[in-house]
Structure 1
Amino acid sequence: MKLINKSILTAVITLSTASVYYAQQVQDTVSKSKDIEEVILRGVTDIAKDRKTPVAASTIKAAQILERQGNQELVELLNTTPSVYATKGGGGFGDSQIVMRGFESRNIAVMVNGMPVNDMEGGSVYFSNWTGLSDVTSFMQVQRGLGSSKLAIASVGGTMNFITKSSDMKKGGVIRLGVGNNDYLKTSFAYNTGKAENGVSASFLMSRQSGGTYIENTDYESYAYYLALGYEINKKHNLQFTITSAPQWHDQRTYAPTIQNYINFNPDNDGTPYRRYNSDFGYYTDSSGNRVPLANRANYYSKPVMMLNWDWTMSEKSKLSTVAYMSNGRGGGTGDLGRLGGKSINDASFLDTSGHINYDAIFAANAAVDLNTAGAGSTIVRRSNINSHNWYGILANFQHQINDNWNFSIGTDDRYYYGYHYQVLTDLYGAAGYKDNANKNLSAPRIVNALYDYKKLSWNPFGGKLAPAEDQVGYSNDGEVLWYSAFGQVEYTKDKLSAFLQGSVSNQGYQRIDNYVVDGSTLKGQTVNTKTGFKNTFGYNFKGGANYNINENHNVFANLGYYSKQPFLNTVYPSNQQLINPTLTNEKIASAEVGYGFRSAKFSANVNLYRTQWKDRWLRKTSQTFTLPDNTTTTGYAEINGITEIHQGVEFDGTYKPTNFLEINGMFSWGDYYYKGNASVAAFDDNNNPVTLAGSSGNELYLDKVKVGGSGNNSIPQMTASLGLTVKPVKDLNIFGTWRYVGKLYSTIDAGSFTNVSAQERGVLKLPDFNLFDVGVSYKIRLQNQAQFFTIGANVYNLFNKIYISDSATSIFGTDKITGNTDPDKGKTYEEAGRMYNGVATANRAYFGFGTTWAATLSFNF
């Protein structure tokens, strides 16, 4: 669920003060410079510098963000970066997904001003929390591969670093208004006081965004606030305090419908897929007889972050940067809970003719249930999975310049995290309550009817309310994480050569607390308690690289590294239980890369070759369908152990400026991502009971040489390309367009499908390639006072309304046989039955990309 890191990315923009990471004189340079290559960033920010830092990097500046984002997800701007694939996921506000070099977001280090913000329990990052970040970002940089960060973070696929504007920016403000398709409306106001003579400065931002997306019933409302106060005590000491948050709620589509249902429920009934279709909502008839939409799936979160930053310039050669921070996140994600007469909410009897939930039928059936005599879980209600947390941390970095050629830095990154995970009710769907017997520490069964409204946003900077035990249903467990790490770096620079060597060590202590477990009870022959006690895991990494500038036009670089990466919490305690994984081991990542760069007045280009090996990977896959030895099926989840992946490829990006009025940008990436060797799987049904898979010898998965697929409702491409054109016919007028290609797009792997050699030889489903075109325009109207100007802009995305599959949750082939007992085509293949769409079996669950969308903006700087 999109819950843990709510707002941290906008929140940690508090580091936008930047004083935590680099000296005040560097801040002054930033404010004066228009080109990041001119800026020398210190501390742990670790921005790659052209022709110096030996990593593959791409940078998008604030002007590009404001000009081209519109109502897109912020990460979608990275789609013109080699080996990056960002999609809208289910299509709800902020529900985007990103893949880099074939690795998903939990294995991409996301940072703000050098501060890691990935969830401490599972590594995830949720992009609905980035509201407002685009308004305060100076530039964002993607470093593909291991990257240059000193911290003990596992940037397996790469690093995304957002560098924000500082609180002592030049005095002035900006007002912005944005409109777009589906009632998109965004307003924002920002103002900077500038730095006064007494060293005090302040920066403020407030924004609101609302509307819906291209998908049915995906309304949302999002706010963002940001306040930074700075005080330069003297030339040696600088303090900054910041508080920020981005409370939001949004209705979602989290279940990928089958392609057949996209076609069946197209209102035009023309045999084409209805891309807007959302099966996660429905209608009910209110007391006035009106047909009212009601979302089953929604997300809400608020995560204020407060920070105190201190920079101490100890001498001309030494500096200490420190930040202490806290963040209390509160929120959850809704969905259905329980069954009516053994039927779930998506049973055909509870769907109307348009493929949406028939709430009138559910309300009536719920009202007829006598909870005094019925069993537990005998009504269908809407619950919220709460994933709240408290997070405290301190980061310190000491730097010293030994001489003109050598410098070093050492530091520590320490954190404490406590996560709260439980369920509460948000709508009874006409029932008198919900009967629950999950909590063995309370008298059971209990009838629960306390409701929590997900649209009531919390603005409380100290975290808001946690539900009492008597209001909780289903489960209640907490995760506690202790993180200690130390890092160091040595750098050498002389003439044409620059090199670095980095290393870090870290200890992660995990404890699982299950509030529904009775102390002293027995599980699998072992005594378990509410608290497991801490399991400590040690990890380390080292990496190094060198860049050599052959002359003013040519440079070459190389880097390599090795990570011993600690597993996530659900790997330490698999199967949602209180027992430690008996096969627990660190994941091992080894990576190497070489690159070449060319620079001239009109043309610049980069070429990179890379190879990454990832061993001992552990993966949990939910929403799985398993075939059992008796050829019956069941649903549940799978835990895959011992995965080895190889990710290798080549990348190119270049820019050509033949005149001052024309700029051409292009990129191409080709990858070869595959599994090496087989793996083992433990399968469980929805009630947590272990199951044996048909055709599997000891539940072995035959994955050797199979292409790497996604791990959820996402797909992974192994070839991307783009070509962009920007024309500047007159001063302050930009007209731009982009063509983008995605190919070798592989669906998610289905854990139950690779239990025999024939499935291994067939591999993962390959989805159709696609091409997209976007266009836009931006014009600046300058007033007599040059500090004041209007900017108007417009963007159109997917100009030609291309129909394409962006992600798929299954791998069903046209040669597979139809198995449904009541299906008239049972026994035929999907190809024989004519149940194919664009070469893909229509039984596959998928997300289609958005059709044509648009956005326009107007801003006034003063």
Structure 2
Amino acid sequence: MKRSIFLLSMFGASILYAQENDSIQKEEQINLQEVSITEKLPFTVQKISGKDLKKRNLGQDIPTLLNTATSVSITSDAGTGIGYSSIKIRGLNEQSINVTLNGIPLNNPESQGVFWVNMPDLASSTNSMLIQRGVGTSSNGMASFGASVNIDSQNPSTVPFAEANISFGSFNTSKYTVQAGTGKILNNKLSIDGRVSKLDSDGYVNRSWSDLISYDVTALYELNDKTKFRFQNMFGKEQTYQAWSGVDAETLRTNRRYNPEGEIKDDDGNVVGFYKNHTDNYQQNHYFLSWLQDYGNNWKSNLTVHYTKGKGFYESYKNARDLTRYKLNALSPDPKNLINREYLDNDFYGFNLEVENQKLNDFKVFFGLSANEYDGDHYGNVLWVKDTDWNNKDFKYYDNRAVKKQLAAYAKVLYQLNSFEFFGDVQYRYVNYDAYYLSNGENNLEDFRPFKDTFNFINPKAGINYKLNEKNTFYASYGVSQREPLRVDYQNNGIKPKAEFLQDYELGYKMVGRFSMNVNLYYMDYRNQLVPTGRLNEVGTPIRENSGESFRRGVELDASYQIIPNRFSVFGNLTLSQNKHKNFKEEVWDAEGNSSIKEYGKTTIAMSPDAISAFGFEVYPTKKLLINFTNKYVGQQYLANTEPADGKLSDFLVSDLLIRYAPNWFNLKKLEFSLLVNNIFDVKYESNGYYYEGGNYFPQAGINVLGGISIRL
């Protein structure tokens, strides 16, 4: 702790962050110029280049690769950044972050979560990522409720190539990636790229292994200078051992790598072994077809139709379960050990249309229209019941379906007047949600109740830039966002949840050059914010409830300085914030089972650190050798909204060292060797948790190493 405070105070005198120079060739992008314009709007934006992502891409998930971005904190169930990982921005997790791939929503429509484990090695197919903090501008995804992340995938190479990336490391981690491209063929009209990746890891937490496979095929057909078609098929398949429960405080002290998932207990409750197939199994196949058209007179459009098929299950060993819940009480009146599977089988499909004109008199205008539907089936089977002859694996003890239909439209306008730029944006969203039992699928003992809900949201936004000169810009913005509850919000609290409402105020200053800096003040004012209670449901999803009025406010600083241009730079960022309920209330029960409302007054929102920082340096001793040293600090976090003394995550400071060497050997187009030492000072820390009869924690790995080689022909 003392070392953390010392280093943080040292950093306070030189708040620096590396802002990547954009070297992407815009003419090769299928996206409209709205993406590049977003960087210049009066909102809080940070761009991460594909080059920067690939520096550290030795198998870890996207959240880990974004760990040094401003206001970002991450966690990993397995403790290594491989498998189930998640990201928070300003204390808000993926359920409040609008994530899109080339403008297509990646958030699951029911949970609003983003399951990076279903998209292994996505970084290898990424051209750049754009992070908007706060409400940001409208897009065709869900409503941003704290931040947006737009992933721009790579277009096919214009020249033929073949590349292999191999890495190995601690906890039996391995990653194999092969990529190849045809270059331009068929009279220079068609180009195709493909990638296949295989990742494996045992994980830091006991039995938290991952077995991941993915591929990506992208084809670009240029009919002429005005018309282009782009097809992408992205597939991911994962099998991971469940590590969703964490450990209590006592186990954390005595056996921090222990994993209670899969325990097999005898009749006396003693653990006698672990079930080897206590796993999560899922595969997801994305299809995107885009038509990009230039109509002349500066009018352009991009129409994308998309379809995603997802199906999977998690298989679990349950101890001493009442068979009534599984509709099997006729087998035995006594609790029994059993093995069950819970399935999700879903289809997501729709279209996105974007139209723009950047030279309409003195205006730049952008329009968007999207419609999509999600059909998700949820059902469960019992595979085995101890001491019985049960063998009907097709019997469904629950069976329900959710249908979610969404329609969204937006219009944006940018007007420049001398040194001022004025921006306006309005979005309309329609949501129709219907969840119901299928035939013979009713089960009142499951965490599901049928519901119907419809929402109509109008989300306006406005902002202004004042460009003092080419290097200095001041900006201010205001935005409104409204969002529907999640599926689990209807199930977990017994009362109908309310839609969330957010007003976001941003004020900032940007300076570019050899010394670059961005200072931003924000105030996010919530009504009926759905916040984590600190409890998890059976599959590890946070249980949330409306909190009345709450706010998040803070200051964000990031900067970089090239001490020796292109050879030696220092960088860093710092976020200081307050995240509060104005008057938190919750329902409590006495010993007789009577409920009442308890008021706690002003409390800290659970899982919201008040300080986040990343800082370090990057040096090229020679043109072929890179050394990058990065530190990450995350402040204390409460596990529940009541600020329990026995339920909080301690602050931590973790340091990583990256070394890359790129010799010119064998006339190869590229040859690189990489060494990444994570948590080089072997700090013991926990990055996530929940509160149930005391704190429960997810420990992260101590010092661990990844090494790799990349060859391009």
Superposition TM-score tier, normalisation by shorter sequence:
0.7 to 0.9
User: Which residue does the alignment assign to 1:845?
Assistant: 696
Equivalent-residue separation in structure 2 for 1:144 and 1:384 (angstroms)? 38
User: Which residue does the alignment assign to 2:580?
Assistant: 674
Equivalent-residue separation in structure 2 for 1:694 and 1:501 (angstroms)? 55
Distance verdict in 2 for CA 1:220–1:431, change over 3 Å: farther
Distance verdict in 2 for CA 1:149–1:569, change over 3 Å: same
Residue type of the alignment partner of 1:700:
I
Instruction: Give secondary structure in 1 for the equivalent of 2:253.
Output: helix
Equivalent-residue separation in structure 2 for 1:100 and 1:200 (angstroms)? 39
What is the aligned-residue RMSD (CA, Å)?
3.4
Instruction: Give secondary structure in 1 for the equivalent of 2:684.
Output: coil
Check conservation: 2:195, 2:216, Cα contact below 8 A.
yes
Tell me the TM-score normalised to structure 2 length: 0.87
Aligned-residue offset at 1:142: 1.4
Aligned-residue offset at 1:430: 5.4
Instruction: Give secondary structure in 1 for the equivalent of 2:529.
Output: strand
Check conservation: 2:129, 2:152, Cα contact below 8 A.
yes
Structure 1 residues 404-413 or 104-113, which shifts more? Answer: 404-413
1:809 correspondence with 2:687: no
User: Which residue does the alignment assign to 2:347?
Assistant: 390
Greater fraction of residues in strand: 2
Aligned-residue offset at 1:341: 8.6
1:471 correspondence with 2:403: no
User: Which residue does the alignment assign to 1:482?
Assistant: 405
| Structural mapping, 1:261-280, within 5 Å | 261-264=251-254, 274-280=255-261
Equivalent-residue separation in structure 2 for 1:654 and 1:96 (angstroms)? 27
Aligned-residue offset at 1:187: 0.8
Check conservation: 1:591, 1:611, Cα contact below 8 A.
yes
1:557 correspondence with 2:475: yes
Aligned-residue offset at 1:674: 0.4
Aligned-residue offset at 1:642: 4.6
| Structural mapping, 1:426-825, within 5 Å | 428=384, 431-432=387-388, 447-450=390-393, 470-473=394-397, 475-515=398-438, 535-571=453-489, 573-574=490-491, 585-600=498-513, 602-618=514-530, 640-660=545-565, 661-681=567-587, 692-693=589-590, 699-709=596-606, 715-749=607-641, 765-783=647-665, 785=667, 788-810=669-691
User: Which residue does the alignment assign to 2:23?
Assistant: 34
Equivalent-residue separation in structure 1 for 2:322 and 2:360 (angstroms)? 77
Aligned-residue offset at 1:44: 8.3
1:185 correspondence with 2:179: no
Check conservation: 1:748, 1:811, Cα contact below 8 A.
no
Tell me the TM-score normalised to structure 1 length: 0.73
1:227 correspondence with 2:223: no
User: Which residue does the alignment assign to 2:8?
Assistant: none
Deviations 1:177-226 (A, max 9, x none): 11011111111111111222251111111111113111211222111111
Aligned-residue offset at 1:275: 2.9
Check conservation: 2:61, 2:120, Cα contact below 8 A.
no
Instruction: Give secondary structure in 2 for the equivalent of 1:417.
Output: strand
Identity of aligned residues (%): 21
1:218 correspondence with 2:208: yes
Distance verdict in 2 for CA 1:589–1:398, change over 3 Å: same
User: Which residue does the alignment assign to 1:834?
Assistant: none
Equivalent-residue separation in structure 2 for 1:200 and 1:638 (angstroms)? 48
Deviations 1:266-317 (A, max 9, x none): xxxxxxxx332212145899xxxxx986346421111111222111211131
Check conservation: 1:508, 1:537, Cα contact below 8 A.
yes
Instruction: Give secondary structure in 2 for the equivalent of 1:218.
Output: coil
1:299 correspondence with 2:280: yes
Distance verdict in 2 for CA 1:252–1:653, change over 3 Å: same
Distance verdict in 2 for CA 1:429–1:653, change over 3 Å: farther
Aligned-residue offset at 1:77: 2.5
Distance verdict in 2 for CA 1:518–1:281, change over 3 Å: closer
User: Which residue does the alignment assign to 1:629?
Assistant: none
Distance verdict in 2 for CA 1:429–1:254, change over 3 Å: farther
Check conservation: 2:197, 2:214, Cα contact below 8 A.
yes
Deviations 1:415-445 (A, max 9, x none): 011001111245x375545xxxxxxxxxxxx
Structure 1 residues 174-183 or 151-160, which shifts more? Answer: 151-160
Equivalent-residue separation in structure 2 for 1:849 and 1:732 (angstroms)? 33
Equivalent-residue separation in structure 1 for 2:300 and 2:227 (angstroms)? 10
Check conservation: 1:646, 1:675, Cα contact below 8 A.
yes
User: Which residue does the alignment assign to 1:353?
Assistant: none
Equivalent-residue separation in structure 1 for 2:209 and 2:386 (angstroms)? 23
Instruction: Give secondary structure in 2 for the equivalent of 1:172.
Output: strand
Distance verdict in 2 for CA 1:472–1:312, change over 3 Å: same
Check conservation: 2:521, 2:556, Cα contact below 8 A.
yes
Check conservation: 2:275, 2:317, Cα contact below 8 A.
no
Equivalent-residue separation in structure 2 for 1:556 and 1:312 (angstroms)? 35
Aligned-residue offset at 1:855: 0.4
Instruction: Give secondary structure in 2 for the equivalent of 1:806.
Output: strand
| Structural mapping, 1:128-207, within 5 Å | 128-151=117-140, 153-196=142-185, 197-207=187-197
Distance verdict in 2 for CA 1:225–1:45, change over 3 Å: farther
Instruction: Give secondary structure in 2 for the equivalent of 1:277.
Output: coil
Equivalent-residue separation in structure 2 for 1:784 and 1:71 (angstroms)? 26
Equivalent-residue separation in structure 1 for 2:449 and 2:688 (angstroms)? 39
* One of 336, 347, 351 as aligned partner of 2:317: 336
Check conservation: 1:780, 1:789, Cα contact below 8 A.
yes
Equivalent-residue separation in structure 2 for 1:304 and 1:490 (angstroms)? 35
User: Which residue does the alignment assign to 1:423?
Assistant: 380
Aligned-residue offset at 1:152: 6.1
Rg comparison, structure with higher value: 1
User: Which residue does the alignment assign to 2:7?
Assistant: none
